[in-house]
Structure 1
Amino acid sequence: MIWLEGRGRDPQAYCAGCKAEDEVVYRCMSCIGAELLCQTCIVSTHLHNPFHFVEIWNGEYFECRTLKSLGLLIQLGHAPGRSCANPAPSRHNDFVVVDTTGIHEVNLSFCRCDGMKPHFVQLLHYGLFPGTGVDPRTASTFQALKFFQLMSFESKGSHQEFYRAIERLTGNVLSKSSRDRYHEFMGMVSQWRHLKLLKRAGRGHDLGGISGTTLGSCALRCPSCPQPGINLPDGWDAVPQEERWKYRLFVSIDGNFKLRRRLVSSNEKDPGLNQGWSYFVEENGFKEHLVSKWHLPQDRSTCVAHEAVDKPDRQARGLAASGVAAGVCMRHEFRLPNGVGDLQHGERYINVDYIAFSAVQWFKILELVISYDIGCQWHKKLIQRLAALPAALQPTFLEALLVLIPKFHLPAHIEACNRSYSFNLTKGVGRTDGEAPERGWSRMNAIAKSTAEMGPGTRRDTLDDHMADENWGKTKKCAETFIKKMERAIHGKRKFEQDYSEYRSSMPATFVSRWVAQVERWESDPSHNPNPYEAETKGMCPSAHRRTSDAADAAEAEEVGDSPSNLGVVQPSLFISSGIQLEEDQCLGNHPTKKQLTNLAERSNTLRRRIAVWIEVQRLYMPEAESCRLRHDSASTAVEGKPSTEAYDIPLLFPSSLPASLKCTPDLISYEAQLREGQAYDALEELRRYLRNRSYLYKRKDKNSKGSQTSVAANTRSNTAIKRAQQGVDTAAIRYTQAYNALMKLWDSEEDASMDEPQWRRDLQKLKASDIRGLSEGLYGDSEGKRGISWIWKSWSASLTSASEDDIENDEQLEDALHIEFLKSCTRAARWAEEVELLQEEMRRTLVFFQQKADWWNNRRKSTIGGSTSDYEEGFSAYALSQSRVYTTLRLECERQWEEGRARNWVKRPQKGGQKKRVTPDEDVDVETLLDED
C-alpha cells in the first residue's frame, strides 16, 4: 500500500500507451495496473470510463485531478470518441454526474443533428438518468441508482447515508467541495423506483400502457394463493362443500406503530408517484372514506383491555400517521395489492376495514379466513360496517368468512376466545399460525427511522419499493420454502396420526363415538351446539383433596399398626406380597412432609420388627438371599463402620434383586412378576390421577388466587394443595419405577426364550422425567399444535373392561380431562393432515402461476408504446423474453427440487458437520437417575 503512494524505485520513463517520454505523470487507480500515461492517453483510455478520478505526479506526491480538467468530453448522440457536426454544450458548463465512484463534474455536450432525441432521452440512451426532463444539468448513472436500491433493501440505509458516503468517496478531506446534488439525487431515486416498478409489471408491454395502469396492478402477487383465472382449475367453485377449504384465501391483518410519519410536508407538496398502483391504498379515496366515517363510534373491548381498541389515540400527537395497518397473505407472507394504509389514531375499525377489504377485493374467492390479533372484537358488527365501505370494496362474492386470532396472541385473550378463535381447533386451516405480519414487520421496522421524516408520497413509494423486494425474495425461494414446509408437514402428519391412533385405541369405543359426534355437531353449527373443548366439571377443591390425603395417611398408619407380625406360616404368594408392601412402607418419596417423618419415627420400630420377621421367612424360601445380605452388611461396615439400622435402608432382596448367578424357585419368580405387574399398573393409574389433580390446582390458582385481596392466604392454601399433589406424583413415580425395573430384571432372567411376550411389555415403558406431565402439558418449547401426549396417558390395561368404563362414566372430572385431550389429539392429527393437502394444492398453484406468467410475457414481445418506429421493437421483445425465461426458470427449479423431495418421500436430508438433534434438558433423564441424585 505504501509502495503505491509513489512511483516505485525505477519510475516509468515513457508512456505505457503511446511510448512517448514527455510528461508521463498521470495514472488512474480505478483501472487495473495503474500505469503511468501521458495526458492524451489518459483521456483517450477513459472515453468508455468517464467517471474515474485520475491522479497526477506533482514531483513529490500524487494529486487528484478530474478528467474534465484534462479535456475529456462526453458527447451524447454518438459513440464514445466520435465527434458531432452540430454539438450543443451543456449550459453553464456545470453538469454533474452521480456514480458509484463519486460525484463528477464533467464536460458534456448534447447533439443537435437532424432527428436526434430530446436532451433527457439522449442521457437515458447513454445510461444516465436525468435529474429533470427540461434542460437537465444533473444525472446519475443507472449503476449508481441500482446499487443504492439494492443496498437500501439489504442494509435499510437512507438516501442521505448513501449520498454522504458517495461524497466522502469523492473527497474525504473537504467533501463539500463537490457540487451538492442531494435533493436532485432523491428525485432521481424516486423516479427510478417508479419506472422500474412499471417496467417489471409489464406496463410498457400492455396495450393500455402506463395511462391504463389500474389500482394494485403493479404489485407482485403471491404465486401460491388462490387466484381464479390464473392458478385455480376449472370448476373449482363447484366442488363439494367439504373440499372447498383447499381454495380458501388466508389473510392476516396487523398494525405497526413503528412505521409512523411525522407531521412534515403534505400530499399537495409530495403526492407520490405510485397512486395506489402497488401495495398502499389509493390515498384520495382512503382519505375521503375516513373523513366521511370518522364519526362512527367504536365499542370498548369485552375481552381483555386491548389498547388497540380502548386507547386508539396512543402515540398520535404530532404525527401525520401513527403507524400503518397491512393485509398479508397469511400462509406465504406476501404483501397484498392495496393492502397497506396509514393509521391516524390507533387501529380504528374504519381504517382496518378499508385496508383489509381493499386487499381482498382482488381475489374472487368463496371462502375467506382473516387473522387479526383483536379479531374477537373486530368481527363484531363487521357486517354492518361493511355496508359503509365503498361499493367496489364490499365483498359480494364471499359465501363464508371466518375470523381467528393468531396463535401467539391467543393466550393473552380470555378463555372463551381461546376456544372459539383458535387455529388449532378450527377445521380446514392446516398448520397456519396467523402470525405472518409480525415476521414481516421485523424487517420493515429497520427503515422506520428514515421514512418517518419523509413526505407522504415519498414515504409511500419507498415502502412500496421495499415491500416489492420482500415479495420478490419470497418468490425466488418458493422451491426451497415448500421443501422445508412439506418435510415438516409429512413428519408431523406421521407422528401425530400415530399418537392419535394409540390414544384412540386406549379409549372405550362408546366414549370415542360420543366425543366424535359432539365435535362434528359443533363444527357444523357452532352457534347452536356446546363447545366440546370446554370442561363441564369444576374438579376437586383443595379442601377435599386435603381431606382425601389425610384419610389416606390415617389408613396407611392403621394398616401398619394392624399388620400381622407372624409371617412364619405364610404361603409363597403371600410372602412376596407382604415383602412388596414392606418395600412401599419403606418409601418416603422425594420430599417427605413433617407429618410423614413423624409417623415414620413412631412406627420405625414396628416396621423394623416386621422386616425382621419377613427376613426369617425369607431364609426358608430364599436361602440364597442370605449370602447377598451378609455381603451387603459387610460393605456397609467397611464404609460406615457398622451396618445401617434404619428401617428404610434394610435391603429386602426379592427374586428380582438377586444376582444373575443366583437362582430361586420359579414359583417365587412367577409370583413376584404377577404382583409387580399389578403394582406397575396401579402406580401408573395413581400417577395419572395425581397429575390430573395437579393440573386442576394450577388452573384454579391462576384463576382465583392472583390479584385478590386475600392473595397471600389464597396462595398459601393453593401452594399447600399443589405440594400435596406433587408428593403424590413423586411417590407414584417411584413405585412405578421400582415395579418396572423388577419386571425387566425378571423378564431378562427367563430361560424360555420362546415364551410369548406378555401384555405389559407392550403397555409399559421406562419412565423418564419428561414423561411425567399432564394430559395438556407438552415438552419445553412445544406449541399446542406440536404437543405430543406422554405415553403414560396412552398406556392402559390389556383391555378396558366394563368396570373401567364405569369408572370413567362415574368420574366426571376424569371424563372431562380425557374427552378434551382426546379431541385435541384428534385435531392435532387433522391439522397436520390438512397441512399436507394444502401444501400439495399450493405447490400445484405455484407451478401454474409461474407458467402463466411466462406465457403472459412471451405473448407481449411487441408494444405500441414506442410509436411507429422500429427503434424500440427489439428492446420490447428482448425484455419480454428475458422475463418469460425468469418465470420458466423458477418453475423448472420448483419441479426439480420437489421431484427430488417426492423421490425420497420428503425425508429430511442428513445434516452436514455431524450436528446433533437438540433435545430438551430432561429428555434423556429417567426417574431413577433423579432419585439417585437426590
Structure 2
Amino acid sequence: MKIHQEWVRDYREAYLRDMIWLEGRGRRTSQTSCTGCGGKDDIVYRCPSCIGGAMYCQACIVTLHQHNPFHFIEMWNGSHFTRTTLKSLGLLIQLGHEPGQHCANPDPSRRQDFVVVDTTGIHEVNLSFCRCDGMRPHFSQLLRYGLFPGTGLQPRTAATFRALKFFQILSFESKGSHQEFYQAIVRLTGNVLSNTSRDRYHEFIRMVSQWRHLKMLKRAGRCHDVGGVAGTTQGSGAVLCPSCPQPGINLPADWASAPPEIRWLYRLFVAIDGNFKLRRRLVSSNEKDPGYNEGWAYFVEEKGFKEHLSSEWHLPQDRSTCVAHDAVDKPDREARGLAASGVAAAVCTRHEFRLPNGVGDLQKGERYINIDYIAFSAIHWFKVQELIISYDIGCQWHKKLFERLRKLPPHLIPKFLVVLLVLIPKFHLPAHVEYCNRTYSFNLTKGVGRTDGEAPERGWSRMNAVAKSTAEMGPGTRRDTLDDHMADENWDKTKKCPEIFVTKMERAVVGKRRHEQDHAEYKASIPARFVSAWTDEVEKWERNPAGTPNPYEAVTKGVSEQAVKLQLAKEAEAADAAEEGGLGVMQPSLFISTGVQLEEEQYKLRLAASQLGNHPTKKQLTVLAERSNHLRRRIVNWAEVRKLYIPEAEAIRLRQDSASTVVDGKPPIEAYEIPLLLPSALPASVVCSPNLIDYEAQLREGQAYDALDDLRRHLRTRAYLYKRKDKHSRGSQTSVSANTRSNTAIKRAQQGVDSAAIKYNRAYKALMVLRGSEATGDDDEEEQWRRDLRRLRASDIRGLSEGLFGDSEGSRSVSWIWKSRSTPVTLSSEEDIEALRIEFLKSRARAHRWAEEVLLLEEEMRRTLQFFKYKAEWWSSRQKSTIGGTTSDYEEGFSAYALSQQTVYETLRLECEKRWEAGRARNWVKTVQKGGRKKKIPTDDDDDDVDGLSGDDD
C-alpha cells in the first residue's frame, strides 16, 4: 500500500512524461547526420523494436535489418511518426545465402505476395528463392532460414520458428486458442485498421498442427531410431513416465521371479476416468481433418477404435448394483450436436503421467466398450504381471471384465498379467455403499502404499482449460492439439522428478514413524492371543480377498429402536401374564415407548406446520388440523395413564396450562407444543420410578443409535448427489429441469440429515439426563454408549470425505460420527472384543500403508534413475540419421541433437542423485529454522496434489 501511494504521488506523471517523450524524436530533434553512415540526407527512420531509438537514413535502416527483417519501421513525416515496412524501403530476403549477400540466379517470382507471421506481426516481405546449382527446394530453403512454410508446394506463406514455439509454449501456460493468438498478432500489425493485413489464419492453424507433429517426432527420436518416421509404432511418440515399471528399461533382470514379499513393488498402477468437458461439436470429419499423429502419441488409433465400437456397440450394459451411478445406468444418454461427448483417459495413478494410447473419445457416456478399449490400449504397453486399476465405478466395471476382454483386438489383451485388482479412488469411495467402502478401498488393500487413485481428476482440472478451443476443432486437429498438451504435462513432470520425490519421501518417512508408533502403542494394550488371531485373519483376507470373509466388517449388529420396542413389549406381555388381579392398564414399558413415539410425531407435525407457505390452501390447513386433532386426542389419552405412573407430572401440567390460558385472543397451545413430561423432562426435584427411568434410557439409547445410522446414510446420499450434480447438472448446456431435479434431491437428502441430527440430539440429551452427564468409571469400564455416543455439534455433521472449513485434503479429520458403531443395549465381552478388533485392524492398515509408501518410493526412485540412464545411453548410441541425409551438414545436426538430449537426461539423473542423497543423509526428515528453534515439517495422512507441469525438452 505504501509503495502504491508513493508511486502515485511521486512517479506517475514522471513515468507518463518519459513514455510520451518517445513519441517524438526526443534529443535528436537537431540531428543533422545519419547515425549509421554520417550522411545528411533523409534522416527520418527509426526502429521501435531496436533498443535506443536512433535515427537513420533509408539505406542504413535497411542494412541494419538484414538479420532482423521482421521489424516494423517508423518514419518522421515532419509532425509525428508513421509506420512503414522494410519491404517498402527496399529490404530483400534472399534465401539460400547469408543475409545481405546477393544471389547470382535468384527466383523472385513470389517476391510480391509472400507473407510471414512473426511474434512482431504479420509482414508482407520481398523474398527471393535461390536457383543456383545444387540449391534445395523452396520449402527447404525456408526451413533453413528459420521459416516454416505454409505448404510444401509453391509456398506463399510462412511463420517464423520463434512465433510457432512462442504460441506453443503460450498455449501450454494460458490454454489460449489459435484465434486468440492470431488476433493478437493482427493487432500488433495494426491496431487501427488491423483488417488491412493479409489473412493467413487458416494457414497458421495448419502450420501449428504440423509444427506440433514434427516436434513430437523429434523428441521421440524418430529421426534417429531404426525405421525412421515410417517405422513409428502406436504410442511410441508419447513421453513415458520414468518411474513406472517398464521391463527392459528400469526393472531388474530377475523381476519376474521375485519372491512374493517384494513382488508387489513391481506393480503397475493405472487410473481411469471420463471427462465430459473435453467434448467436440459436430463439425468437420475424419475424412476432411484426419490429423497427423495417427495414434502415435496419447490418443488411440482412430480407425481401429471405431471399428471395435461399431462391432460391439449393440451389446447391453448391466445396471448398477451399487448406488445409482449414471455412468452405469445411463451410458447411452444422447449427446446432441456433439461428435464426442467427452474423452476417457488412463493415467499412471502414482505419478499422473498420461499413458501411451490411453486417451479416446466418448460418444454416449462412459460405456464399458469405450473404457475397455482405451484402458487396455494403454496397459498392453507394460508387460507387467500385477496391475492395480483405479476407477470411480470400478465396483461395476470389473464385473464380466474378462468376458469383455476376449472381444478386444488380440494385440490389446494382456498376455503376462497374473494379478488384476480393481479399486475405487479415495474421494469417490464414500458415495458408494458400505460393501464397496470395505472391499475396494486403497486404505485397506495390501501393497498400494498411500496411493489415492485420484490422479485423473487433478489432470482434468488443468486440461479443461483448453476445452473451449478444442470443442470447435476438427477431429484430427483436436487430437493432435490435446496430444501436444498432454506431452507438455508429462515432460514437465519429468523435469520435476528430483524435487517431487523429495517432498513425497519426507512426508512418507514422518508418516511411517508416527503411525507405526501409534500402532505399536495400541497393540501393546491388547492381549497377545487376540493380536495373533486377528493378524492371521486379516493376512488370510489379504492373500485371498474373494474367498475369505472381510475382517473389517462388523459381525455384531447394533440394536435398533424397533428392537428395543419389541423387547419392552415382550416384557410388558410377560408382566401382564404374571400379574394377578391387574388393573388392566398400560404397562410401564409400553407407557414409556408410547410417550417417545408421541414425541416423534410432535416433531413431524411441527415440521409440517413450518413448511406451510405464506398463503396455504384450504386443503393444506384441513389436513394439518386433522393431524393436530388426532395427535391431541392421543396425548390426552396417554396423559391419563401418566397420572398413574408420574402423579407429580399432573401438577406440573396444571401449572403450565394455567400459564398458557388464552389471553388477548391468542390461540391455545398447539398439539406439537404440549409437554409430555417424560422422566427425562421432569425437574430434578420430582422423584420418578427407577423402572421408568431405565425403560426410557434403554429406548433413548436405541433411538440415538438409529438416528446416528440414519445420519450417516443421509450424508452418504448427499455426497453422491453433490458429485452427480457437479458431473452432470452444471454448465450452460444443462437444462433448468435437470438442475431443479438435482437441487430437489439434494434438499430432500439435507432434510433427512437435519431430521436425523435433531432426533439424535433429542435422544442424547434425554440419555444424559437419565444416566448422568459424568462418567462414573475408568475408560475400560465405561458403558459402551458413552464410547459410541457423543455430543453432536454442527461441525460434526459432515460426510466421510468432508473436512472442516479451511481444512485441506491432507489436514482434514474424520468426524466422530463415522467412528462410532451401533451396539446392543446389553454389552457383552464378544462385542467389546469386536470393537477392539476392528480398530486394531484399521490401525495396522494405516501403519502398513505408510511403510509400503516408503518402500514404493525407494523403488520408484531407483527406477527413475535407471530410466534416465537408459535414455541417456539410448541417445548417445543414436547420433546418425535414419530418415536420409548423409552429408556432413546433416550429420552434424543429428549428432548435435542426440548429444544434447543425452545431456538432458544425464543432467536429470545427476540432479536426482544429488537431491536424494542429501535427503538420505538427513534420513528424509526436513527441518526448518525459525526463531532459533528447529522443528520437523508438518505432515499429513493424505498425499497433496502434485500440480501438472509443462515445458519443452529441447
Asked whether the two chains share a fold, i.e. TM above 0.5, the reply is yes
Give me the TM-score of the superposition, normalised by structure 2: 0.74
Q: Is 2:511–2:939's contact at 8 Å kept on the other side of the alignment?
A: no
The answer for the alignment partner of 2:90 in structure 1 is 71
Deviation at 1:184, TM superposition (A): 0.6
What letter matches 1:484 in structure 2?
T
The answer for the alignment partner of 1:601 in structure 2 is 685
The question of 1:80 aligning with 2:90 is answered: no
The question of 1:246 aligning with 2:265 is answered: yes
**Alignment match of 1:285 (pick from 274, 279, 304):** 304
Q: 1:730 to 1:140 in 2, by over 3 A?
A: farther
What letter matches 1:890 in structure 2?
L
Distance 2:131 2:268 in 1: 57
Q: Give the 5 Å matches for 1:748-787.
A: 780=804
Deviation at 1:769, TM superposition (A): 12
The answer for the alignment partner of 1:310 in structure 2 is 329
The question of 1:397 aligning with 2:419 is answered: no
The question of 1:870 aligning with 2:888 is answered: yes
Q: Give the 5 Å matches for 1:10-89.
A: 10-89=29-108
Q: 1:695 to 1:465 in 2, by over 3 A?
A: farther
Structure showing greater radius of gyration is 1
1:626-680 C-alpha deviation (Å, 9 max, x unpaired): xxxxxxxxxxxxxxxxxxxxxxxxxxxxxxxxxxxxxxxxxxxxxxxxxxxxxxx
Deviation at 1:509, TM superposition (A): 2.1
> Which range moved further: 88-97 or 595-604?
595-604
1:206-257 C-alpha deviation (Å, 9 max, x unpaired): 1211011111111000000000000001100101122211000000000101
Q: Give the 5 Å matches for 1:227-376.
A: 227-314=246-333, 316-376=335-395
**Alignment match of 1:494 (pick from 494, 513, 519):** 513
**Higher RCO (CA-CA < 8 Å; seq separation 6+):** 2
Deviation at 1:813, TM superposition (A): 3.6
Distance 2:57 2:756 in 1: 96
The answer for the alignment partner of 2:179 in structure 1 is 160
**Alignment match of 2:869 (pick from 851, 854, 858):** 851
Q: Is 1:785–1:828's contact at 8 Å kept on the other side of the alignment?
A: no
Deviation at 1:732, TM superposition (A): 9.9
The answer for the alignment partner of 1:586 in structure 2 is none
Distance 2:546 2:377 in 1: 29
Q: 1:291 to 1:159 in 2, by over 3 A?
A: same
Q: Give the 5 Å matches for 1:819-830.
A: 819-830=837-848
Q: 1:203 to 1:731 in 2, by over 3 A?
A: farther
The answer for the alignment partner of 1:437 in structure 2 is 456
Q: Give the 5 Å matches for 1:715-730.
A: 719-720=758-759, 722-725=761-764
Deviation at 1:151, TM superposition (A): 0.2
Distance 2:936 2:188 in 1: 47
What letter matches 1:814 in structure 2?
D
Q: 1:816 to 1:153 in 2, by over 3 A?
A: same
Helix, strand or coil at the partner of 1:187: helix
Deviation at 1:374, TM superposition (A): 0.7
What letter matches 2:351 in structure 1?
H
Q: Is 2:35–2:55's contact at 8 Å kept on the other side of the alignment?
A: yes
Deviation at 1:818, TM superposition (A): 2.1
Deviation at 1:158, TM superposition (A): 0.4
What letter matches 1:46 in structure 2?
H
Distance 2:828 2:133 in 1: 102
Distance 1:99 1:398 in 2: 52
Distance 2:205 2:939 in 1: 52
Q: Is 1:493–1:832's contact at 8 Å kept on the other side of the alignment?
A: yes
Deviation at 1:508, TM superposition (A): 2.2
Deviation at 1:435, TM superposition (A): 0.6
What letter matches 1:888 in structure 2?
E
Q: How many residues end up aligned between the 2 structures?
A: 758
Q: Is 1:499–1:788's contact at 8 Å kept on the other side of the alignment?
A: no
Deviation at 1:296, TM superposition (A): 1.4
Give me the TM-score of the superposition, normalised by structure 1: 0.75
Q: 1:284 to 1:739 in 2, by over 3 A?
A: closer
Q: 1:868 to 1:733 in 2, by over 3 A?
A: farther
Distance 1:77 1:163 in 2: 29
Distance 2:231 2:492 in 1: 28
What letter matches 1:291 in structure 2?
S
Distance 2:752 2:407 in 1: 53
Deviation at 1:26, TM superposition (A): 0.4
Q: Give the 5 Å matches for 1:187-202.
A: 187-202=206-221
The answer for the alignment partner of 2:404 in structure 1 is 385
Helix, strand or coil at the partner of 1:96: strand
1:540-583 C-alpha deviation (Å, 9 max, x unpaired): 334778999x99xx9xxxxxxxxxxxxxxxxxxxxxxxxxxxxx
The answer for the alignment partner of 2:709 in structure 1 is 699
Q: Is 2:299–2:359's contact at 8 Å kept on the other side of the alignment?
A: yes
The answer for the alignment partner of 1:413 in structure 2 is 432
Q: Is 2:250–2:863's contact at 8 Å kept on the other side of the alignment?
A: yes
The answer for the alignment partner of 1:446 in structure 2 is 465
Distance 2:457 2:412 in 1: 25
Q: 1:911 to 1:360 in 2, by over 3 A?
A: farther
Deviation at 1:723, TM superposition (A): 3.9
1:61-116 C-alpha deviation (Å, 9 max, x unpaired): 10100000000000011111111100111426110100000000000001111111
The answer for the alignment partner of 1:624 in structure 2 is none
What letter matches 1:280 in structure 2?
F
**Alignment match of 1:900 (pick from 918, 924, 929):** 918
Q: Give the 5 Å matches for 1:511-550.
A: 511-542=530-561
RMSD across aligned positions (CA)? 3.9
Q: 1:8 to 1:255 in 2, by over 3 A?
A: same
What letter matches 1:168 in structure 2?
R
Q: 1:171 to 1:697 in 2, by over 3 A?
A: same
Q: Is 1:691–1:729's contact at 8 Å kept on the other side of the alignment?
A: no
The question of 1:879 aligning with 2:897 is answered: yes
What letter matches 2:685 in structure 1?
A
Q: 1:697 to 1:334 in 2, by over 3 A?
A: same
Q: 1:423 to 1:695 in 2, by over 3 A?
A: farther
Identify unmatched segments of 5+ residues in structure 2: 1-18, 569-587, 593-676, 689-699, 718-744, 780-789, 820-824, 941-954
Q: 1:898 to 1:131 in 2, by over 3 A?
A: same
Helix, strand or coil at the partner of 2:889: coil
What letter matches 2:158 in structure 1?
A
Q: Is 2:341–2:362's contact at 8 Å kept on the other side of the alignment?
A: yes
The answer for the alignment partner of 2:603 in structure 1 is none
What letter matches 2:21 in structure 1?
W
Deviation at 1:13, TM superposition (A): 1.7
Q: 1:911 to 1:193 in 2, by over 3 A?
A: farther
Distance 2:386 2:490 in 1: 24
Deviation at 1:874, TM superposition (A): 0.6
Distance 2:796 2:204 in 1: 63
Q: 1:906 to 1:81 in 2, by over 3 A?
A: same
The answer for the alignment partner of 2:832 in structure 1 is 814
The answer for the alignment partner of 2:630 in structure 1 is none
What letter matches 2:854 in structure 1?
V
Q: Is 1:809–1:815's contact at 8 Å kept on the other side of the alignment?
A: no
Helix, strand or coil at the partner of 1:406: coil
Distance 2:268 2:930 in 1: 38
What letter matches 2:450 in structure 1?
R
1:389-417 C-alpha deviation (Å, 9 max, x unpaired): 00000111101100111111111111111
1:277-307 C-alpha deviation (Å, 9 max, x unpaired): 0000011111111111111111111111111
Deviation at 1:339, TM superposition (A): 0.4
Q: Is 1:47–1:72's contact at 8 Å kept on the other side of the alignment?
A: yes
Identify unmatched segments of 5+ residues in structure 1: 555-592, 605-689, 741-766, 794-806, 921-934
Q: 1:75 to 1:308 in 2, by over 3 A?
A: same
